[in-house]
Amino acid sequence: MIDLHTHSFLSDGVLIPSELVRRARVAGYKAMAITDHADESNIEAVLKQITKVARQLNTDRTFRLLPGVELTHIPPAHIPLMVKKARALGARVVVGHGETLAEPVEAGTNAAFIKAGVDILAHPGLVTDEDAKSAVKRSVHFEITARGGHSLTNGHVAAVAKRHGVKMVLNTDSHSPGDLITGEKALKIALGAGLNEEDFRRIQENAKALVKKFRA
């Protein structure tokens, strides 16, 4: 299992980063990103702390922790500068908090994150065909999510992504230990989104490719 969207107590998760990593490793994870919620108010502190933990925990080749952020509820006009700032501060994974049906995300957020070139557009809700075409051009991945509420539109996201050739990843958006999943559960979530086993294999390969890119 590779999970590129999780949260620690540095934002609204319940575990310190090292415990989150330990529990993920016991669950069979091979790599993960901690991507705590961030905006202008906390991005420096969040990335500084996660980067320190990553240096401490990446002591062998059997597991990789990547420092990242999920840019969250940022006005679309400010998104490009925040994406640049996140990368300048050392974020290896930049996730954009998409237009989920479960929260009042401002219209235009999906398009702004895609145009800014985030790595992953998380739970993008009723994402449009136009946004999907743009995502292909900018190598932005769409997220299939295990998280309740955000997962309401997994089927729509998967269908749009397949129609236009958008690469997908499957993440948990974990906030607590019970949110972590096995590879078997991930497959079931993919099947529930209307994908097939070959689609799931590609999702896994996409995640592996991103980890390789982020480690470079």
Phi, psi of 49 (to 5 degrees): -70, -45
Phi, psi of 143 (to 5 degrees): -100, 130
Residue 142 pairs in a beta bridge with 121, 168
**H-state helical runs in the chain:** 17-26, 43-57, 79-88, 109-116, 129-138, 154-164, 183-192, 197-215
> What domains are there in the chain, each with its CATH number?
2-215 (3.20.20.140)
Report pTM.
0.97
**H-state helical runs in 58-153:** 79-88, 109-116, 129-138
| Distance (Å, whole) CA 144 – CA 187 | 11
List the chain pLDDT tens, one digit each, 216 residues: 999 999 999 999 999 999 999 999 999 999 999 999 999 999 999 999 999 999 999 988 889 999 999 999 999 999 999 999 999 999 999 999 999 999 999 999 999 999 999 999 999 999 999 999 999 999 999 999 999 999 999 999 999 999 999 999 999 999 999 999 999 999 999 999 999 999 999 999 999 999 998 875
Q: Left if phi > 0, otherwise alpha if psi is -120 to 50, otherwise beta: which for 28?
A: left
Q: How far does CA 123 lie from the centroid of its chain?
A: 9
94's tokens: 């930049």
